Structure 1
Amino acid sequence: MRHALDLVAGGASGPPHEGFEVGYVDQGGSEFRRPLADVWAVRFEGCVPVRDFKSYKGQWHLPGLWWSSTMGGHIGYESWLERDHVMLLDFDPSVVGVSSQPFWLFWASKTGKGLSHAPDYFARREDGSAVVVDCRPVDRRRPRDWVKFEATQSACSQVGWHFRLVGAPDGIVMRNVRWLAGYRHPRHRVEDAVSDLRRVFAEPRPLMDGAASVGDPIAVLPVLFHLLWLHELVVDVSVPLHTASLVSPGVRR
């Protein structure tokens, strides 16, 4: 996945920073506004969105809810671009938690003007590291937007979070992931077929050939796609998915 901006905090292990404040809402609905230095360890992946996802007649953006297999619940998005990126976060095997509109970041400009920004997503990785994501098409990044993105990058670097500014994802990757996402729900996990598919694909093998060797593809393929979504079996999603795609062993869950 390519990102216009993907910055990592250079070894920052914790706070402190003066100037930024963070506003957030915990799972119980309590609101907080604290200095950045005091919130670097907050589990923002479990926080309530700080903004509503509004829907109204004639709007340009198409908001909605994405059912996340990572979270076992819905995550809001405000556009199809955000939907695509929350889908990619959900597909990422290193991500163990995701929240949308996780916090408000407050700061003052050089002239003293109060500014604020709510990033689109916060993701927690299994190693404990964190990623803050903003989604904006390249051709819609105005100077006032860059002020907010650069401030968010600066704040993230202070507390050891990665910051990503993302645009349109790779089209082939997105089509493949969108297809597999149709099978992300646990209802597609049939354990007998799971065992057989693991055995059949213990060595790389063409997708349809392996599925047909297990049983009726109509019954087997949904289970196979579910395992590919979970990375228990893996396939190269950077090229179009087809019947001859090589499927290999992945991460055992």
Structure 2
Amino acid sequence: MGGERGWLMAEEDFWLEYVDACGEPHGGPLEVMWPTRFEAAGQVRGFPSYRGQRNFPGWYWAATGGDLVGYESWVELGHLMRLDAEPDVVAVASQPFRLSWRYGDRARRTRHTPDYFVRRRDGTAVVLDVRPDDRIEPDDAAKFAATAAACARVGWGFERVGILDPVLAANLRWLSGYRHPRVRREPVADALQAVFAEPQGLLAGAREVGDPIATLPVLFHLLWRRVLAADLGGELLAGATRVHLVPAVAKEVGGDAGASAAAVAG
């Protein structure tokens, strides 16, 4: 990196470019551009496609925001699903902007396009770069460090993440099939919340509410939405997996929830 502080620069040296939802390009100093709603911007660059390509780009329909979000690899897709399932995330944008800066007295500007811009429910933002630990070269590390410094200057968080835990990734991939809001059906959802107010096995609770063919999709949707919880990183979901109502949700469950469970079961 040419020294721990070799990438530091004056704030006005950070330059940011993005493309709005209509495809129009914009650019300017970071301190001028940062208030932009990048979660609603277009991709500043496209994904290449060619014969023999080793990565797998594509589009993912995010329940958060109800829009398509791009990914360039299975690793990115795993984190995209993780973000989509987090209750405090309200929007995710892929390739949201291009950041450039100069190292010291170099005439040529260094450029970097982060993978994702994440907007949280409280209005804060996180910029995300996805790169496996064993694929980070010195130049990559320097770019991530400079991007982190730029984010810190405008109050954004920055994360560089690697390969998602394979068990968590597999469970999220399964649950993502039930992420669409149409999967939730009442009063089945209310009944499941009442049943899992006391932790128990996934399949046993589903059967207590009704026919598993009808209740399991709703149960999986509630797990995706974090209304119900299980140890998604510990083991693959199975009939015996312990499921419980999320404490914050439990406070909202009314006293007639038990009656809803009995009505569905009946």
TM-score, normalised to structure 1, is 0.90
Q: 1:131 aligns with which of 126, 131, 141?
A: 126
1:54 aligns with 2:75: no
Q: Distance in 2 between matches of 1:24 and 1:113?
A: 20
Partner residue of 1:214?
209
1:52 is paired with a residue whose SS is: coil
Partner residue of 2:89?
95
Q: 1:67 aligns with which of 16, 39, 61?
A: 61
Partner residue of 1:77?
71
Q: Distance in 2 between matches of 1:210 and 1:236?
A: 16
Q: Distance in 1 between matches of 2:204 and 2:33?
A: 51
Q: 1:178 aligns with which of 167, 173, 187?
A: 173
1:190 is paired with a residue whose SS is: coil
| Bigger shift: residues 71-80 or 184-193 | 184-193
| Bigger shift: residues 117-126 or 104-113 | 104-113
1:29 aligns with 2:23: yes
Q: Deviations over 1:159-191 (max 9, x none)?
A: 111111111111221111111111111231122
Partner residue of 1:5?
none
- Name stretches of at least 5 consecutive residues in structure 2 with no aligned partner: 1-9, 253-266
Partner residue of 1:247?
243
For residue 29 of structure 1, report the CA deviation from its aligned partner.
2.2
Q: Distance in 1 between matches of 2:191 and 2:161?
A: 39
Deviating runs (4+, > 6 A) in structure 1? none
Larger helix proportion of the pair: 2
> Which amino acid is 2:190 matched to?
S
Partner residue of 1:122?
117
Identity of aligned residues (%): 49
Partner residue of 1:109?
103
For residue 28 of structure 1, report the CA deviation from its aligned partner.
2.4
For residue 39 of structure 1, report the CA deviation from its aligned partner.
2.0
Structure of greater relative contact order (alpha carbons < 8 Å, 6+ residues apart) = 1
| Bigger shift: residues 243-252 or 136-145 | 243-252
Partner residue of 2:5?
none
Q: Matched residue pairs, number?
A: 238
| Bigger shift: residues 111-120 or 185-194 | 185-194
Superposed, which structure 2 residues align to 1:151-170 within 5 Å? 151-170=146-165
Q: Distance in 2 between matches of 1:131 and 1:149?
A: 13
For residue 137 of structure 1, report the CA deviation from its aligned partner.
1.2
Root-mean-square deviation over aligned CA pairs? 1.5
> Which amino acid is 1:185 matched to?
H
For residue 238 of structure 1, report the CA deviation from its aligned partner.
2.0
Q: 1:150 aligns with which of 130, 145, 151?
A: 145
For residue 113 of structure 1, report the CA deviation from its aligned partner.
1.8
- Name stretches of at least 5 consecutive residues in structure 1 with no aligned partner: 1-15
For residue 68 of structure 1, report the CA deviation from its aligned partner.
0.4
Partner residue of 2:36?
42
Q: Deviations over 1:10-45 (max 9, x none)?
A: xxxxxx921101101122222110110012221111
For residue 106 of structure 1, report the CA deviation from its aligned partner.
1.2
Q: Distance in 2 between matches of 1:123 and 1:178?
A: 20
Partner residue of 1:203?
198
Q: 1:231 aligns with which of 213, 226, 232?
A: 226
Q: Deviations over 1:134-174 (max 9, x none)?
A: 11111111112112111111101111111111111112211
For residue 219 of structure 1, report the CA deviation from its aligned partner.
1.5
